[in-house]
Amino acid sequence: MGYSVINLHAFGIAVFIQPIERAFNWSRAEAMSGLTVASGLGILIYMVGGACVDRFSARRVGLVGILIVCSGVAALGLATGGLVEWIATWLYISVGIAAVQGVVWTRLVVARFDRSRGLAIASVLNGSAITATLVPIVGTMLIAWVGWRLGVAGIGLIWFLVAFPIAFLLFRDRHSETEVRRAPPGGSETYETTGLSLREALRTGVFWRIAFCMFAFIIYTMALSPNLIALLVEKGITASKAAAIAALMGVCGLISRLGTGMLLDRLPPLLVGSAVFALPVVGCMILLTPAPGTALLALSVACFGATVGAENDVIFYLVARYCGLRHFGALLGAITSGGAVAGTIAPITSGWLHDRTGSYDLMMMILLGLMAVSVVATATMGRPDPRVPARPTG
């Protein structure tokens, strides 16, 4: 539930984007400017957030992050139409996002799990699938009942009332947090302290391949998720049907994440990763057809949801396997900072492309190419560094 907060802003704005445009007479690019600015700040603070998890308690970081993100999303309902005010709210949200990123919730998990590490990571990261499933439906209902302002405030309040108490009561494991932060004095080296140093990891080609895959995936996600309902409507279906199809993304993400986690524990991870990155290629090809029909639109959203559900499983698993856990938080923070660059570019660029071309076709062609390159990058990573053990050594 803590990790479900990570995409609350992205999936939330997808539901409210068209009412906000009408309310303030904004272009699509202006409406997306907040996401872009928030991701831009993330470039600077995501790695800091990951390092804080290595240094301090993941519990403290996560609880503060939930509070900031949920209150920030709720505050979007107070917008008056000024871009400065709008962007300032998104800057506040971005600070919280850095504190609820995946490394916060998985740092203890990757240290505790070995044989079923993939499934354990998948179970934690399924929080984002909960968000993808419920936010489109709940947001659409709230807009119909109370309007978009109280609707977006309701989304933030509901998530806080559910996620914060659960994380506060159940996300505590002081013994494990101590193990993660430092090795026992005088004891044998444990798996938590093994792996490549920051300098060694940054010099490897594998690290940069993983970073590129994350970069491409964030562009894909942040370009498509906030525009998904509008894109489906432009393909000829009603807004309510588009919201129902968009909710399918969360269901597929839930199934895909657990399935990918299990497969990572049983099959070569590069094979699993390549298959995950190939799904968006199929989805983009469907969305590039002029009139795909409801069934094919649902299939394309299913491909999108499956990748959103499985991508972080693959990234987190590969970082742990190829770089080790010695600087797991900082390395994931660096990769996430690169993803923040993509998140900065994608929303406003996708809106700009739509404003200029009148459709999402050019955006879909760019996304298709990026994900195709990710398939090749993953499939050709090679064997892990021998300095990174596959199993605990202590």
> pLDDT tens, 194-215?
667 778 878 888 889 999 998 9
Using only the alpha carbons of the chain, give its radius of gyration.
20
For the chain, give the longest Cα–Cα distance: 67
The pTM score is 0.66
| Listed residue (121, 105, 139) closest to 10, CA to CA | 139
Mean residue pLDDT of the chain comes to 80
**Helix axis angle, 127-170 to 117-125, nearest 10°:** 90
Calculate mean pLDDT across residues 338-367: 82
Instruction: Work out the pLDDT band at 388, boundaries 50, 70, 90.
Output: low
pLDDT digits (tens, 9 = 90+) for 286-321: 888 877 778 888 888 888 888 876 777 888 888 888
Specify the pLDDT at position 394. 42
Rounded to a whole number of angstroms, the distance between the first and last alpha carbons of the chain is 32
In a domain, 269, yes or no: yes
- Look-up of token digits 């439906």: 137
In the chain, % of residues over pLDDT 70: 90
Specify the pLDDT at position 389. 58
CA atoms within 13 A on the CB side of 40: 14
At 195, give phi and psi (nearest 5°): 125, 180
pLDDT digits (tens, 9 = 90+) for 45-64: 777 777 777 677 788 889 99
| Listed residue (200, 213, 209, 180) closest to 323, CA to CA | 200
In a domain, 338, yes or no: yes
CA atoms within 13 A on the CB side of 55: 7
| Listed residue (142, 172, 160) closest to 5, CA to CA | 160
State the CATH number of the domain containing residue 214: 1.20.1250.20
Task: Decide if 62 contacts 124 (C-beta within 8 A).
Answer: no
Q: How many domains does the chain have?
A: 1
Q: For residue 30, how many other CB atoms are within 10 A of its CB?
A: 17
Per-residue DSSP letter, 267: S
Instruction: Work out the pLDDT band at 331, boundaries 50, 70, 90.
Output: confident
In a domain, 389, yes or no: no
Calculate the alpha carbon distances from 238 to 231, 241, 243, 244, 245 in Å.
11, 5, 9, 10, 11
pLDDT of residue 186 exceeding 60, the answer is no
In a domain, 10, yes or no: yes
In a domain, 387, yes or no: no
In a domain, 137, yes or no: yes
Specify the pLDDT at position 10. 75
| Listed residue (155, 42, 161) closest to 99, CA to CA | 42
Lowest mean pLDDT: which of 27-36, 285-294, 324-333, 383-392? 383-392
- Cα separation, 96 vs 74, in Å, equals 13
- Cα separation, 6 vs 54, in Å, equals 19
Calculate mean pLDDT across residues 134-158: 89
pLDDT of residue 151 exceeding 70, the answer is yes
Calculate mean pLDDT across residues 373-389: 80
Please name the residue ranges forming H helices in 113-185: 117-125, 127-170, 174-181
In a domain, 386, yes or no: no
Give the structural domain span for 318. Answer: 3-379
- Cα separation, 26 vs 82, in Å, equals 10
In a domain, 247, yes or no: yes
Specify the pLDDT at position 65. 92
pLDDT of residue 5 exceeding 70, the answer is yes
